Amino acid sequence: MHQLTVIVPLYNEEENLLRVEQKLGEYAEKSSVPTQILLVNDGSTDESLKMVREICERSEHFSYISFTKNAGLSAAIKAGIDHVSTSLTGYIDSDLQTDPEDFEVLLKEINNYQLVNGYRNQRKDSFKKNLSSTVANNVRNFFTKDGMYDTGCPLKIMHTDYAKRIPFFKGLHRFLPAMIMLQGGKVIQIPIRHYPRIAGTAKFGLRNRLIKPLIDCFGYLWMKRNYIHYEVGEKHLK
């Protein structure tokens, strides 16, 4: 039977962490597969780390790792994946603009795909944020041909063995479906619910959504050309 670890990267999210504890704790109690929550503190400078420690002391469902300084979202996801020991790895943002209960929608497809990606078909963000994300997704699609029109959606489930083989660089969190496909894995996107941010502040601006992703596309193309993928047909090891 599958087991799931949900990675929750966070940076200066003290205003959201009690909601994270409540919502993800409730989901872990009733999930269709045994589920644990891994909080990844990306060098927060507010009270986030203190609150994370308290949450993990209160609840058996939560554990955490904490960076000594801010390293970025890709590093936080990579560190989470490195510490996962369950067969499935999930990802959700700490702003909870997506609903943990929608992991159940993704789990229905996980036996047939190596990555199930949510997509926010009715986004509750500002016009500028929606427009910049649409443009960025179209640019990434042009380079990756992965067919994803919301690859940055912060609700995903992956088979952990595929996730651990992804060679991360800064910005690669935008290319997770494409990197699964490079390994010969199958991906699918499923509509999920989306909500406005009700606490904290967004960590990405126009530059993060447009200029940096365009630059990262060239890094992805280099990796695609040089990516090593093999399948062992037989072995005898001692």
Spans of all domains in the chain = 4-226
For residue 188, give the amino acid letter. Answer: I
Other Cβ atoms closer than 10 A to 121: 14
Residue 206 predicted with pLDDT over 60: no
The rounded distance, in Å, linking the Cα atoms of 30 and 124 is 27
Residue 197: the pLDDT is: 65
Other Cβ atoms closer than 10 A to 231: 6
Confidence band (pLDDT; 50, 70, 90) for 139? Answer: low
* For range 121-145, the mean pLDDT: 61
Residue 137 predicted with pLDDT over 70: no
Q: Is residue 211 classed as helix, strand or coil in its secondary structure? A: helix
> How many residues does this entry show for the chain?
238
* For range 172-176, the mean pLDDT: 82
**Residue of 170, 177, 126 lying closest to 149 (CA atoms):** 177
Residue 217 predicted with pLDDT over 90: no
**Tokens in use for 113?**
């795909």
CATH superfamily membership of 4-226: Spore Coat Polysaccharide Biosynthesis Protein SpsA; Chain A (3.90.550.10)
Cα dihedral 89, 185, 122, 108, rounded to 10, equals -60
Residue 131 predicted with pLDDT over 60: no
Task: Decide if 97 contacts 170 (C-beta within 8 A).
Answer: no
